[in-house]
């Protein structure tokens, strides 16, 4: 049981690295592994690792979460934020296993909208145990030639005591890399659904069948584990989504995200303030505007940076300090 993601992350990483159950080489990659772990997070809104050594890419995290919620399988969208996504794409245009958006909103040959179905099922029976969103699909190609197989089996939601509890089920999760973005996105989805349903955010449970650390990451992992001894208490609070149905705001964010990514617009603070969305969502657009400068000019525009919430400044400064001069 952990209060927040950071505590869970460090402990899971430490256990996997220092006390592995197995050392093996799935698909030829040497790794240390533990089987069947469950992580319980009391406050899923605290979905990040603040440790400087981890250098979490908060802009990618938000981009991936809204990419899932957009229902898109476009490589272009997500590759802009993390160029290594290309290697998972067979056709250079789309992602299959890794793109959870189409799984959630247009699953399989019947294009099932699992999100809307979930809302209907909760209306019918608030206590339901059937609030399951399937992600891994038995139709996926499991042979070695396919490197893009869904690592997430599904997400299950429970309405209990006026709060939305969530269980994530993963067949495989990288304890150093993947878990950071996966828990971020799944708890973001949890918060999006909770606010849509007018519920509080309940606990998040992350169930992983195999968690592992790949050998080339060993040095990074050791640095994080050392860093975690010195720097334990975070001085930040992660921002909370407005208590309302946030879909209209998210749609506006998605429209501007695309324009920023394709350099069709630049946003000044004055222009940003005129957009009719909540401050929570304006901060996401501010992060994407800052990323536009990072991507196209290798530079962080200070006149934008200074308007970021301090918690986001921490992540941007920690990751791209050399571009802040
Ligand atoms: O051989 P396999 O398909 O399991 O390799 C995929 C690797 O990516 C695993 O190490 C898995 O833990 C990691 N991964 C992750 O941690 C992949 C995805 C993509 O679905 C993910 N989290 N979301």
**Residue 229: what pLDDT?**
86
Is ipTM strictly over 0.85?
Answer: yes
Ramachandran angles phi, psi of 168, nearest 5° = -100, 140
Residue 248 Cα to ligand 1 middle (Å): 32
pLDDT per position as a tens digit, 31-87? 999 999 999 999 999 999 999 999 999 999 999 999 999 999 999 999 999 988 899
Residue 109 Cα to ligand 1 middle (Å): 24
Please work out whether the CB of residue 27 comes within 6 Å of at least one atom of ligand 1.
yes
pLDDT per position as a tens digit, 25-37? 998 899 999 999 9
Please work out whether the CB of residue 146 comes within 6 Å of at least one atom of ligand 1.
no
pLDDT per position as a tens digit, 260-314? 999 999 999 999 999 999 999 999 999 999 999 999 999 999 999 999 999 999 9
Q: Which of 137, 136, 126, 134 is nearest to 165 (CA)?
A: 126
Going edge to edge, which strands form the sheet with 163-174? 22-24, 31-41, 200-214, 163-174, 152-160, 132-134
- Distance from C-alpha of 146 to C-alpha of 86, rounded to nearest angstrom: 13
Contact 31, 23 (CB under 8 A): yes
- In this structure, the strands spanning 152-160 and 163-174 are antiparallel
Contact 188, 46 (CB under 8 A): no
Q: Which pair of structure tokens corresponds to residue 35?
A: 């089987």
């Amino acid at each position: 049981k952990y209060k927040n993601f950071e505590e869970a992350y460090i402990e899971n990483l430490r256990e996997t690295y220092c006390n592995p159950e197995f050392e093996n080489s799935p698909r030829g990659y040497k790794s240390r592994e533990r089987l069947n772990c469950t992580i319980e997070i009391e406050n899923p809104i605290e979905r990040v690792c603040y440790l400087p050594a981890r250098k979490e890419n908060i802009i990618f995290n938000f981009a991936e979460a809204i990419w899932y919620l957009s229902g898109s399988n476009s490589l272009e969208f997500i590759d802009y934020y993390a160029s290594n996504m290309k290697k998972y794409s067979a056709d250079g245009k789309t992602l299959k296993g890794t793109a959870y958006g189409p799984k959630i909103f247009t699953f399989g040959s019947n294009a099932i909208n699992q999100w809307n179905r979930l809302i209907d099922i909760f209306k019918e029976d608030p206590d339901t145990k059937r609030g399951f969103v399937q992600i891994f699909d038995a139709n996926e190609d499991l042979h070695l030639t396919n490197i893009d197989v869904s690592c997430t089996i599904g997400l299950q939601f429970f309405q209990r005591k006026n709060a939305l509890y969530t269980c994530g089920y993963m067949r495989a999760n990288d304890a150093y890399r993947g878990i950071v973005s996966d828990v971020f996105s799944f708890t973001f989805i949890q918060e999006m659904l909770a606010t849509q349903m007018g519920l509080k955010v309940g606990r998040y449970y992350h169930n992983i069948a195999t968690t592992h650390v790949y050998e080339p990451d060993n040095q990074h992992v050791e640095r994080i584990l050392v860093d975690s001894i010195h720097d334990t208490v975070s001085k930040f609070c992660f921002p909370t989504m407005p208590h309302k149905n946030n879909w209209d705001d998210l749609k506006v964010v998605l429209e501007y995200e695309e324009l920023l990514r394709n350099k069709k617009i630049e946003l000044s603070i004055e222009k940003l303030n005129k957009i009719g969305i909540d401050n929570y969502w304006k901060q996401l657009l501010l992060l994407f505007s800052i990323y536009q400068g990072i991507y196209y000019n290798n530079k962080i525009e200070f006149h934008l940076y200074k308007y970021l919430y301090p918690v986001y400044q921490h992540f941007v400064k920690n990751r791209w300090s050399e571009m802040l001069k």
